[in-house]
């Protein structure tokens, strides 16, 4: 069922958000509810690891609805977090998405990274990766 608000910017953003969730669900081999939880957890963990400026630059490339998810409960004064190893990053994703452990979180990060690479500019993805320590950066490489 498609909801129409008769506000073109919102309708277009809802369509784009649904496309992101569809792409995420395809990457995960799951349903959109799982895709939403995984994408939200990865975006929040990534956002909190970036500098405020880089987090805002990434946020500017997200569709309006996804941007709202991305900025939900953000405290810029508490960033960047110091996850310097993949394990800490994956632990945070697992906790936020309700996963049992690092393996599921790793799949979520790989899926989200693929969706981000597809939907945002290559230059912005390069900037995001450049902000991450080597142990975390590897999670976002192809």
Q: Does the pLDDT of residue 3 top 70, yes or no?
A: no
- Taking residues 68-87, report their average pLDDT: 91
Alpha helices in the chain (DSSP H): 8-28, 32-49, 52-60, 64-71, 86-97, 102-119, 122-131, 134-137
My answer on whether omega of the bond before 80 falls inside 30° of 0, hence cis, is: yes
Mean pLDDT of 78-94: 91
pLDDT, tens digit, 9 for 90 and up, residues 23-47? 999 999 989 899 999 999 999 999 9
Provide the domain count of the chain: 1
Alpha-carbon gap, residue 42 to 120, rounded angstroms:
15
The per-residue pLDDT for 13 is 83
- Res 101: pLDDT: 82
Rounded to an integer, what distance in angstroms lies between the CA atom of residue 102 and that of residue 58?
A: 25
Q: Enumerate residues 6+ apart whose C-beta is below 8 A from 22.
A: 32, 35
Domain ranges, residue 97: 8-140
- On whether residue 57 sits in a domain, the answer given is yes
Task: Tell whether 123 is covered by a domain.
Answer: yes
Residue 112, domain member (yes or no): yes
Question: What CATH number did the domain enclosing 27 receive?
Answer: 1.10.490.110
Residue 54 has pLDDT above 70, yes or no: yes
1, pLDDT greater than 60: no
Residue 87 lies inside a defined structural domain of this protein:
yes
Contact 22, 50 (CB under 8 A): no
Both structure tokens of 80: 């960047």
């Amino acid at each position: 069922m498609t909801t129409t608000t008769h506000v073109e910017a919102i309708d277009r953003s809802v369509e784009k958000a649904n496309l992101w969730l569809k792409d995420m669900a395809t990457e995960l081999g799951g349903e959109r509810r799982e895709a939403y939880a995984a994408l939200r957890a990865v975006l929040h963990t990534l956002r909190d690891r970036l500098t405020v400026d880089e987090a805002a630059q990434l946020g500017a490339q997200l569709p309006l609805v996804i941007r709202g998810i991305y900025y939900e409960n953000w405290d810029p004064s508490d960033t960047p977090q110091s996850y310097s190893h993949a394990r800490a990053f994956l632990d945070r994703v697992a906790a936020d998405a309700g996963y049992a452990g690092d393996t599921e979180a790793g799949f979520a990060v790989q899926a989200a990274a693929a969706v981000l690479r597809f939907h945002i500019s290559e230059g912005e993805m390069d900037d995001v990766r450049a902000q991450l320590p080597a142990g975390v950066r590897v999670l976002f490489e192809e």
